[in-house]
């Protein structure tokens, strides 16, 4: 179908295997399950940078972050880089965003004609890393697990309620508008990103669920790879002894948040149906990255292990045959895919070559074995140098000039516990992968660009402490007080300022939100 509407639903930090389409047996996601059953499931899909803002920037631009200079959660998305919103708008689409995009810099539209909400996080350089001296971290600390459980209300719930309300209202507004252009509507949520909190009604959905402990338990420092050690130290979690009840409570709240999301998504899909536009609307669903969720004792993303890197990716359109696709996919494929959905296979990039492909070209061809390579990068905090990943065939290769190489056979070793990089019989494979890394990336040049960018942004942050700092976030004025996080005060203090459930509603200690213990339990 030519020029269909496109609804793009994105969530934040969702594991691929949290959905039935990817083998989950206990999650309660009826709306997403129906979307998968009646649509297309990309069985192995990855983000290209396991961190919020860079992942979204590479996705929007169809380019790796090293290409466009989006190095971390405080790196500016250049206004000169075309996004899928620019491409679709040039094709005659209304382009509208409701929710989180995490744009950094004064341009808060990047091709979107309208924004229905502000963003959850700061648009300035508040979170700029400093490879020379990282300092004290105020995110991802053990409180995310220890303070997990049931809440009555949180900032994240406030945000996603607004995202849903404005998206639904906009669908009705378009239905009664005289503007008959097709629409591209991105609805972007912050759940199930930590803190791991959910309302009781979603917690109770899992009363009888057999939610497992992590497949790979916490490991000692000498059992971890170098990057995992840095991350765990950075967030105060190395050798941290969470009790099983803490872990299971956090995981249950995580899945409760996913069920909450499913209900919000159901409201958006219901609006499509009630306005009669669902017959001419393609729907794409994904996450910006995954979540370790306690695997190896890690409660964050920022690594290339499957839980952190792999994402759900679903597509549905009434005119498309339901099917599963084994070929590898990644978020940089979305720009060409949206354009392909809009005008078909005659679409070609007009500004420059892109990193991805139109995923509709993989449909209805008998689902052969994967042949593509997927590339990913990590260039942000808690590293000493760029880290690169290539997934090709059964193997995943991770390379950095500062860390020992990692090579995993993901098919034979799905939990990635056996590093093959030092095995004599794998040296030819390692050599081929390293040659590919060296050919694709110039690490010295990239490192110089990253360090210069960090120095520039730190200078700007320091300068803006004098006088009234600018407020780049959409629809906000300098000094304006808003409920969303704007880099003022500690992030964790802001994130955990939630409304607790009244005491008389709590049934057992294991269901209540815990208070932080007086001491840290260490192994």
Bridge partners (DSSP) of residue 399 are: 388
- Nearest partner of 64 among 85, 81, 80, judged by Cα: 81
Give the residue from 110, 119, 308, 61 showing the smallest Cα distance to 69. Answer: 61
Question: φ, ψ for residue 444 (rounded to 5)?
Answer: -65, -45
Contacts of 274 (CB under 8 A, 6+ apart): none
Rounded-to-integer distance, Cα 151 and Cα 144, Å: 13
Task: Give every CB contact of residue 237 below 8 A, 6+ residues apart in sequence.
Answer: 140, 141, 142, 297, 298, 299
Residues 523, 511: Cα–Cα separation, whole Å: 25
CA 213, 155, 228: angle at the middle one, nearest 5? 40
For residues 2 and 344, is the Cβ–Cβ distance under 8 A? Answer: yes
Beta strand 395-400 pairing with 387-392: antiparallel
- Of the residues 52, 65, 151, 198, only one is catalytic, namely 52
Query: Going by DSSP bridges, is the β-strand pair 310-311/45-46 parallel, antiparallel, or unpaired?
Result: antiparallel
Tokens standing for 307? 């839980």
Catalytic residue among 47, 65, 102, 193: 102
Backbone torsion region of residue 19, taken as left when φ is above 0, otherwise alpha when ψ lies between -120 and 50, otherwise beta: beta
Q: Which bin fits 366, alpha (ψ -120 to 50), beta or left (φ > 0)?
A: left
Q: Is 325 helix (H, G, I), strand (E, B) or coil?
A: strand
Instruction: Give the DSSP letter string of 455-509.
Output: HHHHHHHHHTTSSSPP--STT--TT---SS--SSS-HHHHHT--BPPPGGG--SG
Which residues pair with residue 185 across a beta bridge? 7, 96
Q: Quote the CA–CA distance of 45 and 213 in Å, as a whole number.
A: 24
> Cα dihedral sign for 85, 89, 92, 95?
positive
65 given a catalytic annotation: no
Nearest in space to 303 (alpha carbons), one of 377, 414, 194: 377
Phi, psi dihedrals of residue 424, rounded to the nearest 5°: -55, -40
Based on the residue annotation, tell me whether 52 is a catalytic residue of this protein: yes
d(CA 219, CA 240): 10
Task: Return the closest-CA partner of residue 285 out of 22, 500, 3.
Answer: 22
Angle ∠(68,395,386) on CA atoms, nearest 5: 35
The set of catalytic residues is 52, 102
């Amino acid at each position: 179908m030519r020029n269909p509407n496109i609804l793009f639903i994105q969530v934040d930090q969702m594991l691929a295997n949290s959905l039935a389409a990817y083998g989950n047996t206990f999650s309660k996601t009826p709306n997403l399950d129906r979307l998968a059953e009646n649509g297309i499931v990309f069985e192995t899909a990855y983000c290209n940078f396991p961190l919020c803002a860079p992942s979204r920037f590479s996705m929007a631009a169809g380019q790796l972050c090293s290409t466009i200079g989006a190095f971390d959660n405080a790196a500016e998305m250049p206004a000169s880089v075309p996004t899928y919103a620019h491409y679709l708008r040039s094709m005659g689409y209304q382009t509208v965003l409701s929710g989180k995009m995490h744009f950094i810099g004064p341009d808060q539209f990047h091709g979107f004609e309208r924004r229905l909400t502000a963003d959850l996080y700061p648009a300035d350089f508040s979170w700029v890393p400093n490879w020379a001296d990282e300092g004290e971290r105020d995110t991802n600390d053990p409180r995310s697990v220890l303070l997990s459980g049931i809440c009555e209300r949180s900032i994240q719930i406030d945000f996603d309620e607004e995202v849903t309300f404005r998206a639904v209202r906009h669908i009705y507004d378009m239905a009664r508008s005289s503007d008959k252009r097709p629409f591209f509507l991105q609805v972007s949520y912050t759940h199930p990103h930590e803190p791991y909190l959910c309302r009781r009604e979603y917690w109770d959905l899992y009363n009888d669920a057999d939610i497992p402990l992590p497949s790979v338990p916490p490991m000692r420092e000498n059992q971890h790879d170098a990057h995992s050690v840095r991350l765990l130290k950075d967030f105060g979690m190395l050798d941290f002894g969470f009790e099983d009840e803490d872990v299971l409570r956090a995981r249950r709240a995580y899945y409760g948040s996913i069920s909450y999301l499913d209900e919000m998504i159901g409201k958006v899909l219901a609006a499509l149906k009630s306005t009669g536009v669902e017959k001419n609307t393609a729907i794409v669903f994904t996450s910006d990255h995954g979540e370790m969720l306690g695997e190896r004792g890690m409660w964050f993303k920022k690594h290339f292990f499957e839980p952190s890197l792999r994402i759900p990716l679903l597509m549905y359109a009434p005119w498309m045959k339901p099917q599963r696709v084994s070929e590898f996919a990644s978020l940089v494929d979305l720009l060409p895919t949206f354009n392909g959905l809009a005008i078909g296979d005659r679409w070609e990039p007009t500004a420059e070559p892109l990193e991805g492909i139109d995923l509709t070209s993989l449909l209805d061809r008998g689902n052969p074995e994967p042949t593509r390579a997927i590339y990913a990068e990590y260039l942000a905090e808690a590293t000493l140098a760029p880290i690169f990943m290539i997934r090709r065939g059964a193997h995943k290769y991770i390379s950095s000039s500062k860390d020992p190489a990692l090579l995993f056979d993901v098919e034979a070793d799905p939990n990635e516990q056996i590093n093959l990089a030092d095995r004599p019989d794998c040296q030819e494979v390692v050599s081929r992968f390293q040659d590919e890394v060296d050919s694709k990336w110039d690490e010295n040049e990239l490192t110089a660009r990253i360090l210069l960018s960090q120095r520039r942004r730190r200078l700007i942050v320091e300068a803006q402490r004098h006088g009234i700092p600018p407020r780049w976030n959409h629809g906000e004025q300098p000094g304006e007080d808003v409920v969303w996080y704007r880099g003022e005060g500690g992030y964790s203090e802001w994130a955990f300022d939630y409304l607790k459930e009244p005491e008389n509603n709590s049934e057992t200690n294991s269901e209540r939100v815990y208070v932080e213990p007086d001491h840290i339990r260490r192994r």
